[in-house]
Amino acid sequence: MKATYRLVLALVFAAVSIVLLVPTLVQPAPEWWPWKQAIRLGLDLKGGTHLLYGVDVDAAVDATLDRLVTDVERVLREAQVGAATVERQGKTLTAKLANQDKRTQVADVMRQQLGAILVEQPAPDTGGLLVYGLTPPEVQRIRDNAREQALQIIRNRIDEFGVAEPVVQAQGSSEIVVQLPGIQDPQRAKSLIGRTALLEFKMVAQGPDAGTTDKPGPGIQVLYGRGPSGAREPYLIQRRTLMTGDVVTDARLSQGSITEGTAVDFTLDARGTKQFGDATRANVGRNLAIVLDGIVASAPTIREPITGGRGQITGRFTFEEAQDLANVLRNGALPAPLKLMEERTVGPSLGQDSIRRGLISIGIATIVTIVFMAIYYRGGGLIADVALVFNVLFLIGTFAAFGFTLSLPGLAGIALTIGMAVDANVLVLERIREELTAGKSARAAIDAGYERAWAAILDSNVTAFISGVILFQFGSGPIRGFAVTLCLGILTSLLTAVWGTRMIYDLMTTGRRVTTVSV
């Protein structure tokens, strides 16, 4: 490509970069300006809230064991191997057989039906007792899934919460980082993120077997909720869960009765519709407790079978409470409890101060580099300075074009890029000096300088780029921000420091008799 065409292409890149940067430099951007998206700022520059959660993955294992109690009972019942009761004891499931002669048959059924997730454990010397534990691969799968599901659910909840440009990412094996730019009062966000929202449908106990609140009967538990008067009221609830919230496909706000206020309508999937229909058909006239995180939200009377796959939760919610509840149910319940391990709030004034100090640092680094190159390498240094200005322009323009988030470590990466950009020019200019000293003509010295310096330039930049990729792959948060800036800076510096400066030398020497080069 001729030098003139390359110059036109470079000027087009520069013009595009300027167009992309105007919304960042001029806020708000003019209505007629073709680009409206400003550079995204990270939490340390914009201000906001940083939260670090730990996922209780062991609780997810315990919850799986609780669910398996019903599954094991169902498998044994369908296999018709005799009556058996299953109980969870610590990290194991214990199956008690009414007929000890069925032990071998039960073991075979368990191995065939649930062998992938349960393995038989040593049991007391009793013919009618079998003990099972989760297999190690299944335990690891549950732990990994708990973190990944929690990560996705938190992302969905934050998205619907309305936070602009949040950061939600995994850290380590059981931690999740949440950054909420612009949020200075994170209380509601923390409540929404950490809410387990375990939705359960259970029957309210009745009759003499229910017992009392002081002494509940077997299989009965005491839960609390708001009574008709709004006061805290105890309920006797059967422990067996008829259905959980994992069958809920949608949840929306609706207007309840005058006394109940805002309600939440929910829709069930096919499995939930059948379960709900069977449960309500078998319990017409009884009260169905809708239990949310261990609290009875409401306990309506079942007037008739509900087979349409729809229901309503009322509990004298405020509008905000109902909105958050619908959000949580719609996006799913957390598979395990979260523990808030760290919380930091960055004020907007501190963020602005960081931006100011960062820009001052970049400005000083740029000015010192430009002055040094101009003094030490004279004309060649000025050409490198022009390339340096274009490099910074292209780098920041890339951030604006692709929506990358600029953080404080990112500003440090820009300052580092400035030094790396002139480093390539230093290698080239020193090589040109050597070629001129050896007696070569100006044009031959330029060609040889670029050709012989290229290997060293490529080697240093490739190794730095690989380091940046590793930082991005295994780092998190600010480290990734630095890695992105480093890698982009390497690419733009190669473009300007090698391709750009060579273009200028070609323009200076093409068609002209040049006897010397100012280096």
**Does one domain contain both 365 and 498?**
yes
Q: What are phi and psi of 162, to 5 degrees?
A: 95, 20
**Does one domain contain both 455 and 362?**
yes
What is the number of structural domains in the chain? 3
CA distance 118 to 111: 8
What is the predicted pLDDT for the residue at 38? Answer: 80
What is the predicted pLDDT for the residue at 65? Answer: 84
Sequence-ordered list of residues with C-beta below 8 angstroms from that of 126, at least 6 positions apart, any chain: none
Q: Which domain holds residue 110?
A: 58-139
**Does one domain contain both 414 and 470?**
yes
What is the predicted pLDDT for the residue at 126? Answer: 61
**Does one domain contain both 75 and 27?**
no
User: For the chain, how far is it from start to end, CA to CA, in angstroms?
Assistant: 26
Residue 195 lies in a domain: no
**Does one domain contain both 25 and 113?**
no
**Does one domain contain both 213 and 109?**
no
What is the predicted pLDDT for the residue at 237? Answer: 92
**Does one domain contain both 242 and 369?**
no
What stretches in the chain show pLDDT beneath 50?
A: 258
DSSP 304: S
SS3 90: coil
At which residue do the structure tokens 């001052």 appear? 360
> Phi-psi category of 82—alpha, beta or left, where left has phi over 0 and alpha has psi -120 to 50?
left
Contact 322, 263 (CB under 8 A): yes
CA distance 259 to 468: 60
CATH classification of the domain holding 280: 3.30.1360.200
Residue 502 lies in a domain: yes
What is the predicted pLDDT for the residue at 476? Answer: 67
What is the predicted pLDDT for the residue at 258? Answer: 46
SS3 121: strand
**Does one domain contain both 412 and 464?**
yes
At which residue do the structure tokens 């949608």 appear? 250
DSSP 163: -
- Residue ending a domain, choose from 115, 139, 163: 139
Residue 177 lies in a domain: no
- Pairing assessment for the beta strands 295-298 and 220-226 based on DSSP bridges: parallel
